[in-house]
Amino acid sequence: MTIVVRQLMPDDKTPAFDLNTMTGLPLTPLRFARLLLTGAAGNLGRELRPRLKKYCDALRLSDREPLAGDLVPGEEFVRAGLGDAAAVQALAEGVAAIVHLGGVSTERPWEQILDGNIVGTYHLYEAARRCGVGRIVFASSNHVTGFYRQDEVIGPHDPVRPDGLYGLSKAFGENLAQLYWDRHRIETVSIRIGSSFPEPKDRRMLATWLSFDDLERLVVAALTAPVVGHTVIYGMSDNAATWWDNTTARHLGYRAQDSSERFRAALEARQPAPDRGDPAVIYQGGAFVRTGPFA
């Protein structure tokens, strides 16, 4: 059972204290026989790895790179690239759900994005279809809509405006998820992850920050909500300033409990005033709007 010291009223901005997250206890009694976590060697994969183990009897980890540290009881690791269709299908066999963090996570040359985020995501969904996996949590990105301005508030149903090839590949992944829901009834929650770090690194992240504890809350909500179809949600904490409205995803039951506001004063004191003519300041995608091309 989730223990909350203080329940918030809808207009109350005082943070609640979730003892389950603070003490490492599960947020829900629901458990899975086996979960698959792709991209387990990446930054967020390493953070989610011990957190997800609380919700399953067996956690299958996969990455093209070796894992750091030894496996603990209940973990299994399969080293595989997403471009290998047969290997990806083997990953999906016998799992109840997939948390898909694998692939390229920054703006890179097209060939790398094509293999990891286009071909690899297709292989994952085909493997899920063939193996009877009913739900996927897909790590999409805020860069799907990076060319909206920072003075706009948008929601998951607004048209995509990717800020580069990486954002474009995540838009493809979301469309693939919609296709596999409409045609094959595989449910997906596409999380447009903002900036998930221990704390915000710059002024932009005051609006986009997603704490690791809120990341866990969001992934668990995506795995356990009764019905999701294909739901798109922005992955962010309860930040005072935000460009994203998640009203259409409230059925997931995700409620952020952290905020970037406690970092604001120190961050603004050490960073120069923003150049309001800089595209990275004008657009929500930040520096991604002017990264590349690499040729």
Helical spans, DSSP H, in 24-114:
43-52, 85-92, 110-113
Contact 149, 166 (CB under 8 A): no
Catalytic residue among 148, 166, 234, 283: 166
Residue 148, Cβ neighbours under 10 Å: how many?
20
Distance CA 243, CA 220 (A): 24
Q: Which of 159, 152, 215 is nearest to 189 (CA)?
A: 215
d(CA 149, CA 104): 25
The CA distance from 116 to 169, in Å, is 9
DSSP per-residue codes, 215-262: HHHHHHHHHH-S--SEEEEEE----SS-SB--GGGGGG-------GGG
DSSP helix/strand/coil, 116? helix
254 is catalytic: no
Point out the residues that are catalytic. Answer: 166
